Amino acid sequence: MAQRGVTALEVELVLAEGWPAIDTRPGTKARVFVFPFAAEWQGRFYDEKEVAVYFKELGEERVLLTVMARYGRGFPRGGSR
């Protein structure tokens, strides 16, 4: 997560407030959220950060698979990704 510039708090917010991603494989779930960023990442300035959290649910347990971040602006919201 740290290599992609995503914090544990952001992952929690994505899971709590994000919308379902539509690009998952059977048995895998994902949620997406766009954060205001207005900062530099790897030497470039970006207005927003889109974070996608991919996971599986095994019974009542949620197993984190990966976290992806994209930096830019004008990301689609509300599952239109």
Residue with tokens 């991919």: 54
> 49: burial class by Cβ within 10 Å (0-12, 13-18, 19+)?
buried
Domains in the chain, number: 1
Q: What is the pTM of this model?
A: 0.89
The pLDDT score that the predictor gives to residue 80 is 46
Beta strands in 1-81 (DSSP E): 19-20, 29-41, 44-58, 61-72
Q: Considering the domain boundaries, does residue 79 fall inside one?
A: no
Mean pLDDT over all residues of the chain?
A: 92
Q: Considering the domain boundaries, does residue 25 fall inside one?
A: yes
- Give the integer Cα–Cα distance in Å for 39 and 43: 10
What DSSP designation does 22 have?
Answer: S
Residue with tokens 């689609």: 76
Structural domain of residue 25, as residue ranges? 2-66
Q: What does the pLDDT look like over 5-42, one tens digit per residue? A: 999 999 999 999 999 998 899 999 999 999 999 999 99
